[in-house]
Each structure stands twice: as structure tokens, then as C-alpha cells.
Structure 1
Amino acid sequence: MSGPAETGSAAGSRLPRAGLYLGALLGPFGGGVVAAILPEIGESFAVPASAAASSLTAYLLPFAALMLVSGTLGERWGPARTIRIAYVAYAVVSVLAVVAPWFWLFQTGRALQGCANAFTTPLLMARLAAMTPPERLGRALGMFGAMQAVGQTSAPLVGGLAGEASWRWAFVGIAVVGALLAVWPLPADNGGSTPAAGRLRDPWRRDVLVPGLVALVGWACLAGLSFLVAFRFEDAFDLGSGARGLVLTGFGAAGFLCARAAGAATDRFGGRTTALVGLLAGAGLLVLIGGATAMPIAIAAWAAAGICGQLVLVAVNTTVLSDTGPGRGGAISVVQALRFLGMAAAPAVFTAPYHADALLGFALPAAALVAAAPLSITLSRGRSRD
């Protein structure tokens, strides 16, 4: 059985496909680049560290909220056209962050970066799904997830290196990358907009929202716990900021290395089995981190949790994007919005329990992962073998 109609023409078009993968880097990189330079940002604008840290939220909340509708709107306007405009906007508002003389203007630039990113990530994924044969969709989305992991993992390192001279150089780099991506070849829109993209409320249906809930819980209780892991390694093992940052990169590095394997597992065994393994194994690893008294065990458990995060994420994305009908961009947009809303909520939900008892702080998200496991039955089955 042949893949989507676009597959044949796209098979020899490697440059546009590479553009989709490269675009996956920009959002996570731009979102996380401030993590290592918050003290320098606070000093530059004469604001406390807590205020500087809000630049993470300023990016993430508009990004997640706007993704509830950005996929559907982008399909109406034409995916490639929308992605290019979003790249240009990302570059422009990054320059705004570079030249901002006031903290409120810097925060405005961060929020607008998040808004622009909302019109790239889901549409890139939908275009990738449209040009990939169904039997290889998991592998393709695994590679997309790997590139996102590269952006997430490298952002603190690059930001920290830029901060040695001036934190503003990090945003200069982001602006340059956004401008380059704006002129990189992308799969054509096949004549313009996509009227079949439908109404804004069309993605709000059970076969989208239930996988979205799995993504919300999975990402909140795995990737969203990086702050809690940092607390744990400071309290239990007395690690400084540099060592903690190195430990935290283990999650993204392991996710990058295993993302393609997670995609292959989804193609072979189906989304429900892959996500179930990721949720239950992730729960066990969180309990291990919360109770470990040996630092190497806790480090290894956090890195392994990155693999579990990829298993859940690729399984969910493959299930939603396997629907070849119209509106895939809107559907995956809603799922990604729920994913990042979960990540944004994690600090507010789990910080207080951790300070009451370290093991409790990790046991609660572990319990949430177990509770979400039955929802994995709604994900795609494994493909039958001849």
C-alpha cells in the first residue's frame, strides 16, 4: 500500500525534509537558552533572580496557549507560507530582545518568540507526516524529536558560553538562525491555503484530546521535572550549578540518542505498547531518583527517564499524525499545546510536596504516570505483519 500522495514527489527532495528537521531545533533552543544566563539577565536589567526566571514562563505560556489554534490557522493560510512568516517574526523579535533597554520590553520579546514558535512546531510536524510513508512515520517523528532534544540540551550550554561575553549574543545567534531558516527550502503548499483545515473547534475531539492528555501527564512528570531533579542533586549530593547543569543534560542527550529507536519501536509495536512502557518505566525511575542515596544511580535514572519521555512522545505524535485526513496540523497543535501546558504546570504542582518530603515530591508524579497508563489503550495499535 502506497503512502500519501506527496510521498513520491518528496522522496527525492532531501533539502525540504532537512528543513523540517532543522526547524525542530529552533523552538526548544530559543525557549531554554536563558536557563544558564538568568543571573546575567537579572543583573543587566537590575531585577531579582526570580523576576529573571520568569522569562522562561514568558516564552512558554504564550507558546502553549496559542498552539491550541495555531495549527488550524496555519493550515488555512498555507503551512509553508505560515512557517516562513513565523521564522521571520522569530528573528525580528529576537533582535528586540537583544536591543531591549528595559526588562518589560525584553519580556515582550520573549512572549512574542513563543507566539512565533507556536506557528512552526505543529506545522513542521504535520508537513513531515504528509511526506512520510505511514509505515515509517514513527521513525521520522523520532528523528524530529531527536532534533528537538538537541535544541533543548544545547541551549543552556550555548547560552552559558555566550554569557561569558554578553548574554545578548545568544539572541543574536537565534535571530541569525531564524533568518536562515526563513529562506531554507520547505515542502510546497500545493497551491496555497488548505480550506479543508476546518474550524478551530474541530481538533477538540476524543481521539485528539485523550492522546493529548497522555502527552500532558507524560511531559509534566518527566521533562517537566528537571527543576526538581536540580533540587534533588543540590540537597542530596551538594552539587554546584555547573555540575547540576551537566546532570540535567543527561535527559536530553539520552532522548536524542534513543529517539530513532523509539520511533522504530512505535512503528513495530504500536503507540499503545510503546507509551505504556514509557509511562510505567518512567514512574519507576522517578521513585528511584527520589530515594537514591548513590549519585551515579540517580544520574543514570534521570538519563533513562529521557528515553521514557521519547517513548511516550513519539507514540502520541505518531498516533495523532497517522490520521491522513484534513486537519492534522490542528490536531497535533492541540496535543503539543497540552504537552507544554503540562510542563509549565509542573513547578507549581510538585515543588511544595518535594519540600515537605523529597521522596513524596517524586512519588506524586510517578503516581500520575501510572494513573495515565490506562489511557495508552487509545493510542495506535502495532501494524499487522504478513
Structure 2
Amino acid sequence: MRGRTWPLYVGGFLGPYASTMVTPMVHEVAVGLRSTPQAAAGAVTAYMLPFAALMLVSGTLAERWGRAATMRWSLLAFVAASAACVLAPDLGWFLAARVAQGATNAFTTPLLVAAIADLVAVDRLGRALGLFAGMQAAGQAASPLVSGPSAALDWRLAFAFPALVALVLAATVPAMDGRPGRARASWRALANPRLALACGVSFLCYLSAVALTVLSVLRAEDDFGLGPGQRGLLAAAFGVAGLLAAPVLGRRLEVTGPVATGVLMNLVLCAGLLLAALGTSVILLAVGIALVGLAVTGLRTTVNALAATSAPTNRAGATSVALAFQFFGGALAPLVWVPVYDGVGGPALAAVAVVPLVAAGLVLAARGAGSRHPVSALPGDGPPP
């Protein structure tokens, strides 16, 4: 990867890490802040709701303000929010700090995708976005590997790592504003069927994927008696599988296009959820988590490609809107599925498996939306008219 672009790919690490870092240590956070695990699990929603809400506008605003300056200040604000998590005296303060983390990170991730789409030739875009999705998967993998063992000592230590990554990125933000017309970025460019498809797939993907990350950790303790370090290693299967599969998934997207890739990845996601729900051993639970991680990486690549090619005059705006829907789904997941888990236990994950089937149907129903759009289509998506 070229020297000027490596921070763009590394930046993909931060969002997934910060969004799920609390899940392997919800019990320890609850004890440390004198609360309950169910209440501490709200830290996922506290991060994702402002993250998603602000991304409806953050990309377009950053196109107008300047991508590089916006990202640099947002990264520094993220460091401050992480420090507030460390110093939180009770759950209320902690959740407020998580809100601040999500709000600041809303002005980073979509800008990275937009910059990559500007710098990479269209015939290599699938591989580039696959690499970015791989770094996102690395963040997903590192989150439990760092926060799980950290929780065995002191859960507050887990917030030092993302703060350090943000500081390094703030010092190395490359030139991201070279595309002419940045000041003319408009909201109207975002009203297109290709972006609408990306938003729908993105929402449903995280509605099910985040349910897996939360419920599998709860099941690992309740059904198999795993401690925080073991739960962290188990949850890491999600990110490790995505990281290993990312290069292949990026190339597949270039060859077969987003329709075929989207349907296949949703079917894999469904299979992984069912295995995680019904598996009778830790090994089967881990395999299910790995399948979900692989599928989510493929769907991230597909969604980012659809969004980034849907509005070339406002790439950051398009990618931020698609990511907003992704994290709206993630924010709702604990609210929807944790009560179901409390009622029925592990089989709740089997109910979640319906969601990717709905998403696969959406992709098939919208089959023509991507190929009819006048913006350059991805290879395998059909020629533009």
C-alpha cells in the first residue's frame, strides 16, 4: 500500500474496535460501575446511536469543511472522549462518554471510504475496499483480544489502546481533499436507488451481526461458563475470519458484482447465526461466530462499493449515509434481541437468523437498481445505459 494511503486503511480499524469493545467485558463494567450487565450492554447503543445519527450528515459536511481537517479534529476529540470513559465514576457518566466517542467517530470512517474511492482505479476498487473491510475486521478482532484480557486486570485499561491509535492517525492524516468540486457537495446527489439498496442491506446486516456479538458473549458465560479472557478469544473469531477472508471477498465483488455477493454473504450470515445459536459446544459456537465475521466483511465491502460509486460528487456524503444505516441497525440490536435472549436464552440467535434472509430478498428484489444507475457500475454489475 502506498505511503500516502496507509493511514486511510489503518483508520478502518478504529470504528469497529470502539463500537464493540465493551461487549466482552459487560460484566466487569457493570461491577466496576455498580450496575447490571444488561444496563452496561447499553454502552453499545450509547455509542452507535449518535454515531449513526451524525453520519446522516457528517460526510456531506466534511466535504464542505475539508476532509483532512475534519478528520484530524474528530480524532483528537475521540481521544478526549476515551479519557472520559476511563475517568467515569458511574454508569451515567460512562454512557455519556460513549455517546461522545460515537459522535466524534462519525466524522472519520465515511471520509476514509470516500478518499479510497477517489484514489483507487475503479477496476481495483473491490480489492481496495476489501482491504479496508479487512482492517475493519482487524478492529473487530482486536477489540475482544484487548478488552477481554484488560478486563481481567481493570476494564478501564481497554480504552487506552483506541486512544493511542487515534493519536497516531491524527498525526498522519494524508491529503484527502484533492478532488475538485468539494464545496459543491449536495444532498440531492444522495437520492438514488443504488444508495438506497446499500442503506437497506447495511441496516439489516448490523441488526443481526451486533446481535451475534452481544448474545454470543452472554451465551458463552451462561451456557459454557467462560471467563472474560476466554470470552474475548471466542469473540475474536469474528474479526479474525473477516480479516483472513477480506482479500478473496474483494476480488469476488469485482468479478460477480454486488447482487451475487450480497445474496451469498447473507446466506452465510444466516448459517453462522444458526450454528452459534444451536451449537452444543464452544467449538461450534466459535465456528458460527467465524462464519458471521466472514459474512459481515463481505457485506461491508459490498455496501461500501455500492455507496462510494452511487454519488461521485458527494462520495463522503453517500458513504456516511450508508454507514449511518449500518449503525442504526447495530444500535437497535441490543434493544431488540437482549430481551429476547433473557426470555428464551440461546435460541434467540436462531430468531436473529431470519434477518439476513430478509436482506437477501431485498437484494434480489432490487436487482436492477445498481445496474441501471448512470454512475459507473462495478464489474459484474452490468454496464451503465
TM norm structure 1: 0.86
- What are the Cα deviations for residues 278-307 of structure 1, in whole angstroms up to 9, with x where unaligned? 112322332333333354334323212211
Q: Judging changes above 3 Å, is the alpha-carbon distance between structure 1 residues 379 and 357 closer, same or farther for their aligned structure 2 residues?
A: farther
Which residue of 342, 354, 368 corresponds with 2:329? 342
- Give the match's secondary structure for 2:41: helix
> Is the Cα contact below 8 Å between 2:49 and 2:331 reproduced in 1?
yes
Give the number of aligned pairs.
372
* Pair 1:166–1:358, CA change in 2 (3 A): closer
1:75 aligns with 2:63: yes
> What is the aligned partner in structure 2 of residue 319 from structure 1?
306
Distance 1:94 1:170 in 2: 10
Given candidates 201, 204, 221, the residue that maps to 1:217 is: 204
Aligned-partner Cα distance in 2 for 1:359–1:52: 20
Q: 1:161 to 1:122 in 2, by over 3 A?
A: same
> Cα deviations across residues 315-337 of structure 1 (Å, max 9, x unaligned)?
12112212462111111111111
Provide structure 2 residue ranges, at least 5 long, that are not aligned to the other structure: 372-376
Question: SS state of the match for residue 14, structure 1?
Answer: coil
- Determine which of 351, 358, 362 is the counterpart of 1:375: 362
Q: Which runs of 5+ in 1 are unaligned?
A: 1-12
Distance (Å, rounded) in 1 between the aligned partners of 2:378 and 2:181: 33
Range 344-353 or range 61-70, more displaced: 344-353
Any idea what the Cα deviations from partners look like across 1:82-129, whole Å, max 9, x if unmatched? 111111111222233334445433333221111110000001110011
Identity level (%) = 35
Q: Alignment partner for residue 182 of structure 1, among 170, 186, 194?
A: 170
CA-atom RMSD in angstroms:
2.7
Aligned to 1:299: 286
Aligned partners of 1:76 and 1:193 also within 8 Å: no
For residues 50-65 of structure 1, what are the structure 2 equivalents within 5 Å? 50-65=38-53
Label 1:297 to 1:31 Cα distance change in 2 as closer, same or farther (>3 A). Answer: closer
| Stretch deviating more after TM superposition (115-124 or 38-47) | 38-47
Shift of 1:15: 2.3
> Which region of structure 1 is more displaced relative to structure 2, 311-320 or 137-146?
311-320
Give the 5 Å matches for 1:1-386: 14-101=2-89, 103-190=91-178, 194-199=182-187, 202-234=189-221, 236-323=223-310, 325-354=312-341, 357=344, 361-376=348-363, 377=367, 378-379=369-370, 383=379
- The SS at the match of 1:16 is coil
Offset at 1:148?
1.2
Residue range with higher mean Cα deviation, 230-239 or 205-214: 230-239
- 1:214 is displaced (CA, Å) by 0.9
State whether residues 145 and 259 of structure 1, in contact with CA within 8 Å, keep that contact through their aligned partners in structure 2.
yes
1:216 and 1:341 in contact (8 A); partners too: yes
* CA distance, structure 2, for counterparts of residue 21 and residue 242 of structure 1: 28
* Cα contact 2:72–2:173 (8 A) shared by 1: no
Contact 1:266/1:274 (<8 A) preserved:
yes
